């Protein structure tokens, strides 16, 4: 049973039999973290990448089955070219290191979003990573890259329409249910997140998993992502376990 300690005494503990299956996190606050320290914004992204490594490892160690992180949105292309280059370079570095360690760590990785606009080198690395991941049954880390939930939903609608075009008669068209529609999303085969965490003080989803988080629990914290640690994740889990999830029922 995981315990949280203050300076002098135990505060609270989470229950291992009630862990969320799927945790999703918006990686927010890297730039502000750097600015507060009179550092370039790119230094914040480097620090945030290390935090991601640590939190992903912690999730694996405590038994979280799925971790989804919002790494780069469809709107992030509006940032400076230098900042975008640093983010992509960090991702490339992380993937190279992950490929070297995947056999040992048994961590599966999947990418959600439109990766066709990325460099061929990065696309090849992503394909190699996902292919190697098929061998493992451990925790699955989903990285949302060039991802926007509205774009994902529009993409799913187009995929459904393309499917309908292959039907020879109207009676062949399958009914469009929530379950059927979900199969056209980037996140198909991944359970919806139980807990969505947003560090950085903002209280909005920012186009992240809008369909999937319909009944998720939300945890907001002022802590900037590079300062987010295992104890902060513990606090989020404790709060999650204290809530009653009724899914519209009583």
| Per-10-residue mean pLDDT, the chain, length 250 | 50 86 97 96 93 94 96 94 92 88 84 95 94 88 97 96 89 88 96 98 97 98 98 97 85
Tell me what pLDDT residue 175 has. 87
The full set of domains in the chain, from first to last, is 19-148+191-237 (3.40.1180.10)
Tell me what pLDDT residue 105 has. 80
Tell me what pLDDT residue 67 has. 98
Tell me what pLDDT residue 1 has. 59
- Distance of alpha carbon 77 from alpha carbon 158, whole angstroms: 23
- Give the list of residues 6+ apart from residue 159 with CB closer than 8 angstroms, or none: 184
Task: List the catalytic residue out of 28, 192, 194, 234.
Answer: 28
- Distance of alpha carbon 71 from alpha carbon 147, whole angstroms: 8
The strand pair at 22-26 and 195-198 is best described as parallel
Task: List the catalytic residue out of 76, 89, 105, 207.
Answer: 76
**Residue 28 annotated among the catalytic residues of the structure:** yes
Tell me what pLDDT residue 38 has. 97
HEC assignment per residue over the chain = CCEEECCCCEEEECCHHHCCCEEEEECCCHHHHHHHCCCCHHHHHHHHHHHHHHHHHHHHHHCCCEEEEEEEECCHHHCCHHHHHHHHHHHHHHHHHHHHHHHHHCCEEEEECCHHHCCHHHHHHHHHHHHHHCCCCCCEEEEEEEECHHHHHHHHHHHHHHHHHCCCCHHHCCCCCHHHHHCCCCCCCCCCCCEEEECCCCCCCCCCCCCCCCCCEEEECCCCHHHCCHHHHHHHHHHHHCCCCCCCCC
Tell me what pLDDT residue 9 has. 43
Tell me what pLDDT residue 138 has. 80
């Amino acid at each position: 049973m995981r315990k949280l300690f203050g300076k002098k005494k135990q505060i609270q503990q989470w229950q291992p039999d009630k862990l969320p299956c799927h945790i999703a996190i918006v990686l927010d606050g890297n730039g502000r973290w750097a600015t507060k320290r009179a550092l370039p914004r790119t230094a914040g992204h480097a620090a945030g990448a290390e935090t991601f490594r640590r939190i992903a490892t912690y999730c694996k160690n405590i038994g979280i089955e799925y971790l989804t992180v919002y790494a780069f949105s469809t709107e992030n292309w509006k940032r400076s070219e230098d900042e975008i280059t640093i983010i992509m370079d960090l991702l490339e570095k992380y993937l190279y290191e992950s490929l070297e360690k995947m056999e040992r760590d048994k961590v599966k990785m999947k990418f959600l979003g439109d990766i066709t606009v990325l460099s061929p080198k990065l696309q090849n690395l992503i394909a190699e990573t996902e292919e190697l991941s098929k061998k493992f049954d451990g925790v699955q880390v989903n990285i949302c890259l060039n991802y926007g939930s509205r774009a994902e939903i529009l993409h799913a609608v187009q995929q459904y329409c393309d499917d309908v075009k292959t039907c020879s008669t109207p009676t062949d068209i399958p009914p469009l249910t929530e379950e059927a529609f979900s199969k056209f999303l980037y996140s198909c085969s991944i359970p919806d997140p139980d807990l969505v965490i947003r560090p950085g003080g903002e209280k909005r989803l920012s186009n992240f998993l809008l369909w999937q988080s319909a009944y998720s629990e939300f945890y907001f914290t002022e802590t900037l992502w590079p300062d987010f640690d295992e104890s902060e994740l513990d606090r989020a889990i404790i709060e999650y376990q204290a809530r009653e999830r009724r899914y519209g029922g009583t």
